[in-house]
Structure 1
């Protein structure tokens, strides 16, 4: 990797292409999910939609991680982007001729899930190939800033397109974004990995090497355990956001998009701070702080009354939730990029993706019937209290282990 200013131009080219793609994807995702919420008003259907989106990551992540470490990460990202774009294009042609059914939404979400599964570890592993190690926290802050900006524009665009156009035309937004992202990646030269033995090693040997990364770093493995347990409660909430606005607060798609914008604005504020003024000494401890913040914010969301004032507080708390999500994620990503060998990084990220992806279907299997019976707001409350309880228990276990290791006095 070159330690000069050239890396900035290369990184920004890729990041801008990814941001444009995210805007299209976010707009389409919002339109699809809001359509489901309006058509069904059912947490069970929303749960099935979440399963369709996340099951590919749960089962295909090991293959995606090995692929990212054995083959060209650039080609994998371009193939994944174009595959999602082509799927949206095919769906747009089909949906122009037939009535838009629920199963079509689930198929689109499933295909997008497959593309995202292979794209995520590859793009995360490309970043440290371009960026100096001392700049990784700052660069991840910039990346999340662009992501948050995309998430702000996406729901706004999605709500406007959903109101003005048939779904077949809305889907074309995803196609445009995929073309931009692929063109940006194609224009940038990515340095080759120096490990020439990686093509000769079999899949299972590669996979075991990825697991060994976490066995060798106890601090990282403990943090990942905390994240996975917390995500069992938190992950399903992403499918319930539209229902909180449409069903619990009884408001329109415009208000739903405002909630999405508030969440993204919180992400953006945290990303700006990480990308500019914040200097993080202990990345692991900072990441834990983010989990604490998520737990508190989620608990507050679940306590809101079904009034317009309650919705305003809910939207503001969602902004805090987005900010604390980046307080957790940015230092964690930078820590992995700094400490894991480049030829193992794809597997390291894919393993995180896999275990956290399993939290979505498991969490949805638990949360969907609870939300169906007790109301979607109650799952927000249960989630927040569950996250806080998990962190308290982990602190207690950590304290006991330290006492056992200390010498007797």
Structure 2
């Protein structure tokens, strides 16, 4: 029994071979897409000189993913997942081709960028849940943690590589060349998908196909409401996204209160390294057998690291605390995703995962719009040299610029630890891995090694 649990890296590679091939293609596409997005952001800033435009571009990228989640999830469950990814990629690249043509003839304008980003995001609302829902078809249950860690590694790699590489490529091949590179990477990833045969789920669809379109599109919500343990996992995940939004919105001004602007970029890149390292750790290790224990432990440590980051007016202490905070992010995300993949029937994963992604996506901007104003309008004045809290809390953590944001980090840390402890006493959440049956064992998880790659039917 013990011998069966101890697998060599070669054995793990063989069992995850199909997923790894797909992952490589998606990594190539992700790097190309992120570099292109970075270059377009630079172009927009050079044309307008407005930082506000970045927020509008981010909104154009995010809003369709949230609004279309119920509908996209329904069709992802009805369509072949591999072909959904291929067609979505093809359609999502068309707006980029249009930008390239407009740029070539000298007619590109700012509103074209917004329109193109929104159009691409519409199609990516189908591609992303199709990819995530395919993982249970490509990976044995015992490797879900590794697979999800590799997803975090993919996202972290793209975000870390894009800014420096995009800056170099802008000088070498200009924006037109970067867009051509983006299109090339997408077609490479599509080519890889075309060469592969995805296993098909044998799990029957548990939804009522005769129900109305409205009931079908809202099925993801009703599915989660009927399973409070899964809903609790999703709430924890969304809250962790909220924390990320809160940390991101105060990081820049807090760092600038300690150090000059020349240091800011280096520190933010360092936090990207933390996300990359966390994804790499999960990709190699795979996590604990019980994912809920991993989630509880990491959320408690998240609270501790937030307190550490805010407790002292020291740039070194802040960097250490936030670095460790971001290091845990891929571990939390991988563990929550593994629970959903193991417990949600494969033929409804598109609907459920789309709703999951939409709710998590809301958490990020919610952190921006709540923590940001609280820091600027409430806590910074309270912790000013002559502020209301200067004579008590200020004697412990210091006063002046940045100390209000430090106090806010401490409060977020305390709330995270408290909420995690409360969540532990919710039995449906704590026992979700025991009470809900595993569904992944009912799926054809892998094709024989000889069939990889094989031409798609």
Task: Bin the TM-score by the shorter chain.
Answer: 0.7 to 0.9
Matched, 1:357 2:361: yes
Distance in 2 of aligned mates of 1:378 and 1:83: 48
Q: CA deviation at 1:47?
A: 2.7
Matched, 1:129 2:137: yes
Picking from 222, 226, 235, the partner of 2:232 is 222
Picking from 192, 216, 225, the partner of 2:200 is 192
Q: CA deviation at 1:205?
A: 3.1
Picking from 70, 93, 114, the partner of 2:122 is 114
Q: CA deviation at 1:369?
A: 6.3
Instruction: Give yes or no for contact 2:28–2:185 (8 Å, CA) kept in 1.
Output: yes
- In terms of mean alpha carbon deviation, does 71-80 or 221-230 score higher? 221-230
Matched, 1:75 2:83: yes
Matched, 1:177 2:188: no
Instruction: Give yes or no for contact 1:81–1:178 (8 Å, CA) kept in 2.
Output: yes
C-alpha spacing 1:75/1:232, structure 2 compared with 1 (3 Å): same
Q: CA deviation at 1:126?
A: 0.6
C-alpha spacing 1:89/1:260, structure 2 compared with 1 (3 Å): farther
Instruction: Give yes or no for contact 1:266–1:323 (8 Å, CA) kept in 2.
Output: yes
Q: CA deviation at 1:313?
A: 7.1
The answer for the alignment partner of 1:406 in structure 2 is none
Deviations 1:42-80 (A, max 9, x none): 664433232222111110111111111111111211122
Instruction: Give yes or no for contact 2:310–2:406 (8 Å, CA) kept in 1.
Output: yes
The answer for the alignment partner of 2:244 in structure 1 is 234
Distance in 2 of aligned mates of 1:368 and 1:166: 35
C-alpha spacing 1:282/1:381, structure 2 compared with 1 (3 Å): farther
C-alpha spacing 1:137/1:178, structure 2 compared with 1 (3 Å): same
The answer for the alignment partner of 1:320 in structure 2 is 324
**Bigger relative CO (Cα 8 Å, ≥ 6 apart):** 1
The answer for the alignment partner of 1:11 in structure 2 is 19
SS at match of 1:190: coil
Instruction: Give yes or no for contact 1:51–1:364 (8 Å, CA) kept in 2.
Output: no
The answer for the alignment partner of 1:407 in structure 2 is none
TM-score by length of 2: 0.71
Determine which structure has the larger helix proportion and give its number.
1
Q: CA deviation at 1:167?
A: 2.7
Q: CA deviation at 1:394?
A: 2.5
C-alpha spacing 1:349/1:171, structure 2 compared with 1 (3 Å): same
Distance in 1 of aligned mates of 2:306 and 2:50: 21
Q: CA deviation at 1:118?
A: 1.4
C-alpha spacing 1:122/1:370, structure 2 compared with 1 (3 Å): same
The answer for the alignment partner of 1:92 in structure 2 is 100
Q: CA deviation at 1:183?
A: 1.2
Deviations 1:23-51 (A, max 9, x none): 11221233334555677676644332322
Distance in 2 of aligned mates of 1:304 and 1:261: 22
Distance in 1 of aligned mates of 2:308 and 2:116: 33
Picking from 292, 315, 330, the partner of 1:284 is 292
Q: CA deviation at 1:381?
A: 5.2
Q: CA deviation at 1:161?
A: 2.0
Q: CA deviation at 1:188?
A: 1.1
SS at match of 2:289: coil
Q: How does 1:358-397 map to 2 (within 5 A)?
A: 358-366=362-370, 384-385=409-410, 387-395=412-420, 397=422
Deviations 1:101-151 (A, max 9, x none): 443443343234223321111101111112111221122223333443333
Deviations 1:225-272 (A, max 9, x none): 2332443453376688889899984339xx74x556433432332233
TM-score by length of 1: 0.79
Deviations 1:170-201 (A, max 9, x none): 22332122111111111111123333787945
Distance in 2 of aligned mates of 1:240 and 1:43: 16
Distance in 2 of aligned mates of 1:240 and 1:46: 17
Instruction: Give yes or no for contact 2:148–2:334 (8 Å, CA) kept in 1.
Output: yes
Point out the structure with max Rg over C-alpha: 2
The answer for the alignment partner of 1:274 in structure 2 is 282
RMSD over aligned CA atoms reads: 4.0
Q: CA deviation at 1:330?
A: 0.7
C-alpha spacing 1:96/1:299, structure 2 compared with 1 (3 Å): farther
Matched, 1:250 2:275: no
The answer for the alignment partner of 1:143 in structure 2 is 151
Distance in 1 of aligned mates of 2:12 and 2:421: 46
Matched, 1:213 2:217: no
C-alpha spacing 1:51/1:289, structure 2 compared with 1 (3 Å): farther
Distance in 2 of aligned mates of 1:42 and 1:293: 38
Instruction: Give yes or no for contact 2:309–2:320 (8 Å, CA) kept in 1.
Output: no
Q: CA deviation at 1:326?
A: 0.5
C-alpha spacing 1:174/1:331, structure 2 compared with 1 (3 Å): same
SS at match of 2:262: coil
The answer for the alignment partner of 1:341 in structure 2 is 345
Instruction: Give yes or no for contact 1:371–1:378 (8 Å, CA) kept in 2.
Output: no
